[in-house]
Amino acid sequence: MKALLFVAMLIAQLSAEKRFKEMQDDGTIVYEGEDEDTGRSLFMVTMSDSIRYHYAFETEVINYIKTGKFQYDNQIQ
């Protein structure tokens, strides 16, 4: 049973990473540079013409793809 849960989580992660790349290709996610303190990549995510999230870490964007809710959280690893 634990193996099935692990496989399901792995598939969800790979699907989210694939969707991240697709969103980069279509311009929904745009690279904005690196965080000066951590060196981690930062992105802008466009939700609609009037809603954009700037300076989001990739992990925050992946979390949004998985949950459908965007939240800034630099503790997500």
Q: Which helix (H) or strand (E) holds 7?
A: helix 2-25
List, for residues 42-76, the tens digit of each pLDDT value. Answer: 999 998 878 999 999 999 999 999 888 899 986 65
List, for residues 19-29, the tens digit of each pLDDT value. Answer: 999 999 999 99
Query: Which 3 state secondary structure label does DSSP give 22?
Result: helix
- Residue 67 to residues 17, 45, 60, Cα–Cα distance (Å): 13, 15, 10
